Amino acid sequence: MTYQSPERLLSPTRLGPLSLSNHMVMAPLTRSRAGKDDVPTALMAEYYVQRASAGLIITEASQISPQGKGYPRTPGNFSAEQVEGWKLVTDAVHAGGGRIFLQLWHVGRLSHSSIQPGGGLPVAPSPIAAEGTIFTETGLKELETPREISIEEIPGIVADYRRAAEHARLAGFDGVEIHGANGYLIDQFLRDGSNQRTDAYGGPVENRARFLKEVVEAVIPAIGADRVGVRLSPVFDGFSMSDSNPTETFGYIAGMLSGYGLAYLHGAQLGSAPFDYAGFKHRFGGTYIANGGYDAARAEAALRDGTADLVAFGSSFLANPDLVERFRRGAALNQPDPKTFYQGEERGYTDYPTLDVA
């Protein structure tokens, strides 16, 4: 049978003010290769430029403050040195013809006192510990019960998001993605399993969505609404995350976000519970990035039936820097090596072979 190239997936498109070479997005992937003081490095620039054929790259999550850090060697975006490091990345990607957004991150309770400034406890909307362990500089440790964020602290954290967006603009990024998924701080506020506050940030969904709303409204003036995306994972169930009514919660949030003229909503289809992602996309009404185990054929079908406007690929982009060309030719894919996801420097990072090398 003759291979049918995914024409829609590989065709050019637009994202707000940006021209994209195709409908393929490189999903954010934590790789833990940052240098001293969590500064992005030339090796990271090489990694990203190898994948610049993606229509859009969304970087690995980048902590907005020292408090927002959860894992060793993840890059930050709060110091001048980190901004200069990210410039290496954006300059390389733009020289390679690509577009790149920075993902803004605060991990909330998914950190450890050994990582936090001054050895303090991680913070969260409520003092509820997630089950499990976390990797630290000295190995795996049990997750701790976080300290509840006081209502007086919240404006400062919102300001950290704004500053990180300003830094992203200075570093040359085409836009930013607000990480509201995967059990991290914003997600912890959104869901009633992790948010049991009784003030203006807890209780009904309108209150639980308030923190995200304030972050969005702080970030937009820093870089422009049409350069801001939001990532959400409505039924993600890792890190003890849950919600009593995800359809109501995330339907409300999608509708709330629809009024801002954002670049996109990024739906991470993680977790085993059923969820109406088509309805989620419809409530948002703007550009929607689908993410969750897509291959070329399934991505092409999603674009053609209107359930996605762009499609994000994670581990397949990790292991195949020339994923776009492989999809074009119908070539076999390299398989990712999980042992090198978070360690190995060049190994499992910049040494995956392209078709020409293979």
Instruction: Tally the residues of the chain.
Output: 358
Q: What angle do CA 331, 336, 338 make, to 5 degrees?
A: 170
Whether residue 303 contacts residue 56, with contact meaning beta carbons closer than 8 Å, is answered with: no
Question: For the chain (length 358 residues), average pLDDT per consecutive 10?
Answer: 86 98 98 98 98 98 98 97 98 98 98 96 98 90 97 98 98 98 98 98 98 98 98 97 98 98 97 95 98 96 98 98 97 97 96 86
Which residue among the candidates 184, 264, 349, 352 is catalytic per the annotation? 184
Task: Return the structure tokens found at 148.
Answer: 């509840």
Q: 277 an active-site residue?
A: no
What pLDDT digit, counting tens, does each position of 236-291 carry? 999 999 999 999 999 999 999 999 999 999 999 999 899 999 999 999 999 999 99
d(CA 340, CA 219): 34
The burial of 18, by beta-carbon neighbours within 10 Å (0-12 exposed, 13-18 middle, 19 or more buried), is given as middle
Residue-wise pLDDT for 186-239, tens only, equals 999 999 999 999 999 999 999 999 999 999 999 999 999 999 999 999 999 999
Q: What is the CATH number of domain 7-340?
A: 3.20.20.70
Note whether 121 and 113 are within 8 A (CB): yes
Distance CA 145, CA 58 (A): 31
Cα separation, 299 vs 293, in Å, equals 9
Q: What is the DSSP letter of 69?
A: -
Q: Which of 312, 306, 301, 212 is nearest to 262 (CA)?
A: 212
Q: What is the pLDDT of residue 138?
A: 86
Domain extents in the chain: 7-340
CA–CA separation, 225 and 222 (whole Å): 9
pLDDT of residue 3: 75
3-state SS, residue 63: strand
Instruction: Tell me if 249 sits within 8 A of 186, measured CB to CB.
Output: no
Tokens of 106: 């605060």
SS3 at position 56? strand
- Two structure tokens written together for 247: 């359809």
Distance CA 206, CA 198 (A): 13
